[in-house]
Amino acid sequence: MFGLKLQKLKNLPACKKLAFLALLIPVLCLAAACSAPEVPINQKTDEKFVPPPDISRRPFVIASEFLENVKAKKYKEAYAALSVDAKMRVNLKGFEEGLERYFSMASTKSVYVTRVVVDERVSGDSAIIKVADTKYPDAPPWIWEFENTRAGWKIRSLDLPPLFIYKAKEVPTLK
């Protein structure tokens, strides 16, 4: 059968032969591509595919949730976002009492309501989050430092009034 097609091809004029070949080559390429195994181009076949990181657990999202928990006075949920290091520097009772005392003052109630996370800088296993005041843009931002642990991103240090949780002589800076 293939011999017959070649015989017919010989009898066609040159322009029709070129048109036939022009259609045949892309069809063959498409057939070869469809029969190839499904491996991403930038991946070797012996490596396991690693999915991209889950964006919902990024420091930006965790900081936003932490702020929402503090605003809603869900201190246990907010405390859970702290790293082991930070929890050693302030216990849950001190965390709750400090924030309750802070919220009891009328002048400071709105401080948390108008704060939002505005910047995230990630570098390896650490991150720095900037929390700014939307009502008073001239107010200094709060800087929170995160670390990536086995349990995910956790707050290592934060300058959340009235709790200033830092390592000894260490204040994070935005780079």
Instruction: Compare 67 and 164 and report the one with higher pLDDT.
Output: 67
| Residue 150 DSSP symbol | T
In the chain the domains, ranked by start, together with CATH numbers, are 56-165 (3.10.450.50)
pLDDT confidence bin for 169, thresholds 50/70/90? very low
What's the CA gap between 65 and 134, in Å, rounded? 17
C-beta of residue 9 within 8 angstroms of C-beta of residue 20: yes
Evaluate if residue 26 carries a pLDDT over 50: yes
What would the pLDDT profile of 82-120 be if each residue is shown by its tens digit?
888 888 888 888 888 888 887 777 566 666 778 889 999
Evaluate if residue 172 carries a pLDDT over 50: no
What global pTM score does this model have?
0.59
